[in-house]
A and B are shown apart, each in its own frame.
Chain A
């Protein structure tokens, strides 16, 4: 008979210990998000309620900033522009992204290389590619005008960055170039989840390429399309890098996005007003992301 060991009874309060352990694991994450995201957001929210301009004493003015905002033509212009930008560039990205995804889904010996090439626009910093596009759109010696003059019947170079319409187009193209790879990758994942058997069955049933695309690919890709759509919409709303470096919000403030507009006031040290603009943008993004979490069903995988 073995001698009994002194028993180490852990006074185990049913799950408190476990909860404490989980909490410790999660604490650093929460701390970071709290300190560097949540608090700044609330801080900005608070700032927007103040008259806070350099050299002027800071004082509480409630929703004054917002009232000015509503009457500020500059604000509305950047608001409209941002929306216009979103409604033009996002569909463009989605279509191109879908095309690229379909192409990348095809088996090919150079598939890896193709994918790497497609990833490049995404991997290169926006600020850097913005300067490249700046040169591309240069009036006198840029690639765009070279192509335009050689490929079209016009003899006049286009003033891309110097006109409102040109700048808009330039911005849309530059941003689409950068973000289409991301859409393509997301959609590619959705595509590869569609079982090949479905297509084979459809081919046996006599469906042609177009029919297969419309009847099988699109419906089954729908959830992924929605995911990509919402991501891109929220990202497009907050566009900053490209607009700042490529067009600087010009010419004459015609490509001023909401982010740039807020930033402009920060540069002018008008933190109160700038914060108000950021809050508006924040609310727009928040609404969209709430819609997203409604449409998505992530919790399920965990349950």
Chain B
């Protein structure tokens, strides 16, 4: 099942006025793809999921399942969730508290009017696939969070849906369980090959699970792409800072020409700009820009070496394998990540030399949009 959202928009109208939740989104989810909708809370990702499910009606635009129009505001077309043959796992699982695990899983089949034998067979099949066979007689209230989640997934899969929708299903689990459930979900999806749309605000989840990720903010689509694409080539400062932790450093700089060479100025420090960064880019003009560089691309040397940036350590965050240093360059914050253990002993107040690898840096215009230069695209 391939899903297409065409100029999809959704506005909520209440006594307080109109609230746009989704502003004209176009995207396509490919068959058997594990597609992730990622974004901060309030960005509209759950609304998009509900629109795909048929739990909300679009205010504008269309939704297509393969070549079937399932929702259109203009054409007044709307298929109910039942007819779309989708399955959904909710954030709090929404298990029926008055039914046993068996009853919960069997519920959609009962509504569809299936015979008792077939229902029992189907439930047992799905239950064994998810390791729930011993729990079939229990009530949801007696189960742990992880078990409840599996029941929710079982209920979703028992009908052989063509689309599998998940709304932040891991957010109620503790960290360890989340990691293991993540891998289980992924292998399950690969095995069954169902088109899956997954909503989350956690970029780690998104990066590890998704075939492709759509980043949303305030109802708008910021970027779609494979995890590597989002990481290496963020479309704007929002995506750049949202993906990956610790996030990319975004510094306000000034670009200027001096004797035919490009230089950049952060605060009062000046650095030489490597040719590959400015070549050949038409948009580049002297002036104010934003430099994006990831903490792991800033090398740290003990002071004394010939480095332009000699900065004081503001804070040190040991992160297990690596250490994260916080610096203040003028008035702007800068983070540098190093795996070299011998800096772990450095204290706040010490001055260290920083050597940013500008070849791996990005330039963003003041309004946040990334400047693409041909050097990068050809190198990747």
Contact = CB atoms under 8 A, between A and B. Distances in A.
A–B touching in complex (CB under 8 Å):
yes
Nearest to A2: B66
Contact of A5 (B68, B69, B77): B68
Contact of B67 (A4, A8, A303): A4
Interface in B46-103: 57, 66-70, 76-80, 83
A298 interface: no
B210 to A, nearest CB: 24
Contacts of B77: 9-12
B111 interface: no
B380 interface: no
A102 B67 CA distance: 67
A66 B26 CA distance: 71
Contact of B79 (A2, A10, A13): A10
A10 B66 contact: no
Interface in A1-34: 2, 4-5, 7-14
Contacts of A5: 68
B259 interface: no
Interface residues of A, number: 12
Interface of A: 2, 4-5, 7-14, 303
Prevailing SS type, chain B contact patch: loop
B67 A13 contact: no
A296 B276 CA distance: 70
B175 interface: no
A10 B72 CA distance: 11
B68 A4 contact: yes
B68 A12 contact: no
What 7 A-B pairs are tightest by C-beta distance, nearest first?
A: A12-B78, A7-B68, A9-B77, A12-B76, A4-B67, A10-B78, A8-B83
A9 B57 contact: no
A5 to B, nearest CB: 7
Nearest to A15: B57
Contacts of A4: 66-68
B305 interface: no
B112 interface: no
Interface string B119-156: 00000000000000000000000000000000000000
A4 to B, nearest CB: 6
Nearest to A17: B78
A12 B70 CA distance: 11
Nearest to B73: A14
B315 to A, nearest CB: 37
